[in-house]
């Protein structure tokens, strides 16, 4: 497996995923009771955007300028995007980037750690030993944080149901091969059997419309609780392989769908490449 998230850190897919992740964490925090944040494919936790994006000899432009790079100095952002950028700024200051400078990008574990309250518990799983080692270093000696080097799909069996009886589970695989969609569905089936009231969030790439529709249909066949589908397209250009990405949210918190509405056109406007850019949100399995 060659995937390294460092090549993609801070790209439009990360901006989309992490902005919504922060909003979900905030929404769960409206209740005082603590919860488990389980990150099944956590990555290394922190990325240096000044490091070369590709191994020596390979030409590969960095992706972050078309992601966080477009928001860093933007004025008049709606509150969810301003909240997200403020966390990236706080992370840079903490890491010593220098005043107002964008140098580091936090992975999903750090977004959760920056947003957490003392009563919230964080569990990170990462299969690549190097990445898991870096993640362990990031979170060494932090209270109520665990890092496991292992198969994140197995994390749902190991960690659910949580003693807190509240959980937000992020499933964010690399999708290096098409079999990943089936692995996600298998993990969701097991997670929902073990803990039906959890909030499950799955990020996926949109390369072909038909593949995304088939994924949605297979998800519906699991008869899950209410599920929201949120998608961002950055282009309709057939030459571009990854035209957008999506996030499935099973058991979204109350009013989350309504709160997304004003954010979606801004995300499409800021992150779009051409006139094919759009963002939308629809119930795959409606609330009853």
Ligand X SMILES: C[S@@+](CC[C@H](N)C(=O)[O-])C[C@H]1O[C@@H](n2cnc3c(N)ncnc32)[C@H](O)[C@@H]1O
DSSP 111-163: HHHHH--TT-EEEEEESSHHHHHHHHHHTTT-TTEEEEES-HHHHHHHH-S-T
- How near is the Cβ of 281 to ligand X at its closest, in Å? 20
Rounded CA-CA distance 284/270 in Å is 26
Residues 6+ apart with CB under 8 A from 194: 156, 157, 160, 161
- How near is the Cβ of 288 to ligand X at its closest, in Å? 31
Catalytic residue among 14, 39, 120, 172: 172
Verify whether residue 172 is a known catalytic residue.
Answer: yes
- Of residues 37-56, those binding ligand X (CB under 6 A): 39, 41-43
Nearest to 101 by CA among 81, 71, 127, 72: 72
**Should residue 190 be labelled a site residue for ligand X when binding is judged by CB under 6 A?**
no
**Should residue 225 be labelled a site residue for ligand X when binding is judged by CB under 6 A?**
no
- Of residues 107-146, those binding ligand X (CB under 6 A): 107-108, 125-128, 131
If the CB atoms of residues 271 and 285 are measured against ligand X, the closer one turns out to be 271
- Of residues 153-172, those binding ligand X (CB under 6 A): 153, 172
Rounded CA-CA distance 138/45 in Å is 7
- How near is the Cβ of 5 to ligand X at its closest, in Å? 4
If the CB atoms of residues 205 and 276 are measured against ligand X, the closer one turns out to be 205
**Should residue 151 be labelled a site residue for ligand X when binding is judged by CB under 6 A?**
yes
Angle at 214 between CA 210 and CA 218, to 5 degrees: 175
- How near is the Cβ of 258 to ligand X at its closest, in Å? 25
> What number of residues does the chain have?
288
**Should residue 174 be labelled a site residue for ligand X when binding is judged by CB under 6 A?**
yes
Cα first-last separation, the chain: 42
- How near is the Cβ of 155 to ligand X at its closest, in Å? 8
Using CB under 6 A, count the residues that bind ligand X. 20
If the CB atoms of residues 132 and 212 are measured against ligand X, the closer one turns out to be 132
Rounded CA-CA distance 72/79 in Å is 14
**Should residue 5 be labelled a site residue for ligand X when binding is judged by CB under 6 A?**
yes
Q: Is 267 exposed, middle or buried (0-12, 13-18, 19+ CB in 10 A)?
A: buried
Residue positions annotated with a catalytic role? 172
Name the site residues for ligand X (rule: CB under 6 A).
3, 5, 17, 39, 41-43, 107-108, 125-128, 131, 151-153, 172-174
């Amino acid at each position: 497996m060659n995937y390294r998230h460092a090549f993609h850190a801070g790209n439009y897919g990360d901006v989309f995923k992490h902005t919504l992740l922060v909003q979900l964490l905030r929404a769960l925090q409206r209740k005082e009771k603590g919860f488990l944040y389980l990150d099944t494919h956590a990555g290394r936790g922190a990325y240096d955007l000044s490091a070369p994006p590709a191994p020596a000899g390979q030409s590969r432009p960095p992706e972050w300028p078309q992601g966080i790079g477009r928001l860093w100095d933007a004025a008049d952002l709606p509150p969810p995007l301003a909240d997200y950028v403020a966390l990236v700024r706080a992370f840079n200051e903490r890491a010593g980037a220098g005043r107002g400078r964008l140098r580091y990008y936090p992975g999903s574990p750090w977004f959760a750690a920056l947003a957490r309250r003392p009563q919230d518990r964080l569990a990170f799983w990462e299969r690549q030993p190097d990445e898991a080692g870096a993640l362990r270093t990031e979170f060494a000696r932090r209270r109520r944080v665990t890092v496991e080097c292992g198969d994140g799909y197995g994390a749902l069996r190991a960690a659910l149901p949580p003693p807190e009886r509240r959980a937000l589970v992020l499933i964010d695989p690399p999708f290096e091969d098409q079999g990943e969609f089936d692995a996600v569905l298998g993990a969701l089936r097991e997670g929902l059997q073990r803990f039906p009231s959890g909030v499950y969030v799955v990020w996926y790439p949109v390369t072909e419309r038909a593949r995304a529709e088939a994924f949605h249909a297979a998800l519906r066949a699991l008869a899950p609780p209410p599920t929201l589908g949120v998608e961002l397209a950055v282009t309709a250009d057939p030459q571009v392989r990854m035209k957008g990405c999506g996030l499935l949210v099973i058991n979204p918190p109350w009013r989350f769908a309504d709160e997304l509405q004003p954010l979606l056109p801004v995300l499409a406007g800021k992150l779009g490449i051409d006139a094919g850019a759009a963002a939308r949100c629809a119930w795959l399995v409606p609330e009853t």
